[in-house]
Structure 1
């Protein structure tokens, strides 16, 4: 392993020093307070790993405000205490049970590569994702119920519809967690589903009464 681990690239080192000399230096007291008093985020955001989805910038959030968990296609598995190494489930449990966040947000987005991969897999165009050795394919299989709900739509609309279904499926799965359901039923937390258009900057939110997404 030692021969593969190298020093940080110089451009990242330079950016760190720039941040340390400006943003950190100007807000040193705030960072020290966060370190000493711990985090008290008001919201948890489950978003995609996609580098184009800049969660804190979208909402103008400061350090300590959001508890963020990212994974491919912003998916949440169903509650399964007998499963193995559920990083997403663990993050949700910690946010809800320990941090007691007031808002739990699932944030999907346009041009999602994970969703496109799921669509290709479910339509038989990505056999490599169906191999047992594919971590990505096994993860994206969580979205198969969403594909079943959009497969009758015109082909050119299916991927966009599946991006929205990735949010809905995650919302449905979140409610299967007993501690999430308890927090919602006691009005200690609210649940939100969002979809962000990277190109236009638009944001849509899920309206369960209509079963549809609406512009924010």
Structure 2
């Protein structure tokens, strides 16, 4: 958020400079003028904490990205080669044209600047449309499933973010937090119960009620055994 505020202030200063020097036609001024609205909208992200859930979903789905990109590359190159061979050179002059036709067909955009004219070209393009429709459903399903899981766990994530902010504001380092955790873990089993969890907040000098402490503990206690570990 601070970075967004800094960018907004800097671009306003630059725009005022170009306006004062009567250089509104400069490329820098026009670029800032175009990107100013979306940058201003980014300032509103602080009012939408749920946006972090979407980022968490993309982060969880990121592991599947290499496989998806590899599969996409294979599909593009394979069908581009087939279309290039099937089409006459008067229509598809090079492999670049074949790749472009493959990309717009796979994404189901279809600009119409490149179209197959031969029977075999139409055949391979038709197969590409089917493969593209099936393939595009895979990443959408992965991200959608990840977002559903994150959304179901949103209360715990919001509470964890709130605890993190409070710990940072109190100037507590991870080493301090772990040292307090070890002091509370009297039986050295690496686990804390609810009462020890409440005492931890008092030692950290974080003002939080017992009810909120119990709610946070319940969200952290995923297995329902009445204990949590440091992780």
- TM-score for both structures, normalised by structure 2: 0.25
The structure where helix makes up a greater share of residues is: 2
Normalised to the residue count of structure 1, the TM-score between the two structures is 0.26
Q: Quick one: higher RCO (CA 8 Å, sep 6+), 1 or 2?
A: 1
Say which structure is richer in strand. Answer: 1
